[in-house]
Amino acid sequence: MDIIEGGVITGVQQAVDVGFRCSGCFYRGEADTYAIPIPKIFRKRYWPDSDFKYSPEEAERLRGIESGWIYEFKRLAVGLTTGLPEGGNEINNLNWLFLMEHHGMPTRLLDWTQNILVALFFAVAGDAEDSDKRDGQIWVIRPHDLNDKAGVGSGFPLPGHSIVEYLAREMFYGLGRKEGLARKLKLEPIPTEPVAILPPLPWPRMLAQNSAFTLHPKPRSLENMYVPEAKLTRHKVSSSSKVEIRRELRLIGIEYRTVFPELDSIARDINRRHDDESR
């Protein structure tokens, strides 16, 4: 898989220009530079072999960790809140994955946004003390081409689409049972590519961030994480420009309290504004 290297972003207008050139794209901002965007559950902390070359038994053990965490989250969540997806209905597992991802659990979903200025905010808003000393980056991907290659068509799949259902449920199916799930969903062959999803937006944070997702199978390798047709592109966000970009974003109303519409964000905004103005 070839990553397309874009330009260097030093201001809001450059990011807007990227958005104009790729209308309908998904964007992902990161305050540091990472090799490739990958869902948390498949990162090295949980799947130590970065090329995913596991024996069937090793892969099965790691799959069991993923399904076990989903079960544990479901078990504990019911005592803390209401309005949860129906726990006994496996068709609702995608909604559980949305909820888990929203609250920071490692899942096979990867967060994106349809708003490039939200992605730019994440690229410059790192909380680490030395974050402004490191370049950030914005990833751009073409979701319609990703989905076309995955076999769901050039649009976005509706809830219950067979390929989406397979990717959202296959972690519950052990060795020798995945083929049965595929037959049940009338799929041939078994899906091997990620799918781009526009989810329902039931939480204010997701609505504010124009949230979008990609849903991934276990990768065959990092080289095969995304199909070339999706034109995965990386734009560097210069470390020397992060403070000024935050000031520009603040002027157009993009800061913590608008991206994370919660009380804690007010304090974060005030503290960050004070830090930036003292430089």
pLDDT digits (tens, 9 = 90+) for 51-94: 888 888 888 888 889 999 999 999 999 888 888 887 666 668 89
Q: So what's the pLDDT on residue 248?
A: 97
Report the pLDDT averaged over residues 183-193. Answer: 90
Q: So what's the pLDDT on residue 163?
A: 95
Q: So what's the pLDDT on residue 244?
A: 96
Q: Is the pLDDT of residue 3 over 80?
A: yes
Predicted confidence band at 169 (pLDDT cuts at 50, 70, 90)? very high
Contact 237, 9 (CB under 8 A): yes
Report the pLDDT averaged over residues 21-43. Answer: 93
Average pLDDT of the residues of the chain: 91
Q: So what's the pLDDT on residue 109?
A: 97
Q: So what's the pLDDT on residue 49?
A: 86
Tokens of 163: 């390929």
Q: Which of 81-85, 153-157, 167-171, 234-238 is predicted least confidently? A: 81-85
Report the pLDDT averaged over residues 215-231. Answer: 91
3-state helix, strand, coil in the chain (%, to 5): 45, 15, 40
% of the chain beyond a pLDDT of 90: 63
* 235-273 per-position pLDDT tens digit: 999 999 999 999 999 999 999 999 999 999 999 999 989
Q: So what's the pLDDT on residue 39?
A: 95
Q: So what's the pLDDT on residue 156?
A: 94
pTM recorded for the entire structure: 0.93
Contact 196, 146 (CB under 8 A): yes
Report the pLDDT averaged over residues 6-32. Answer: 95
Contact 84, 97 (CB under 8 A): no
DSSP states of 89-150: -GGGHHHHHHHHHHTT---SEEEEES-HHHHHHHHH---STTGGGS-EEEEEE-HHHHHHHH
Report the pLDDT averaged over residues 216-238. Answer: 93
Locate tokens 């909820």: which residue? 99
Strand, helix or coil for residue 267 = helix
Report in angstroms the alpha-carbon separations of 136 from 99, 149, 234: 27, 29, 10
* 90-133 per-position pLDDT tens digit: 668 898 999 999 889 999 999 999 999 999 999 999 877 789 99
Q: So what's the pLDDT on residue 258?
A: 96
CA distance 260 to 277: 22
Q: So what's the pLDDT on residue 17?
A: 96
Contacts of residue 245, Cβ cutoff 8 Å, sequence gap at least 6: 9, 10, 11, 12, 120, 124, 237
Predicted confidence band at 146 (pLDDT cuts at 50, 70, 90)? very high
Predicted confidence band at 1 (pLDDT cuts at 50, 70, 90)? low
Q: Is the pLDDT of residue 148 over 80?
A: yes
Report the pLDDT averaged over residues 203-220. Answer: 92
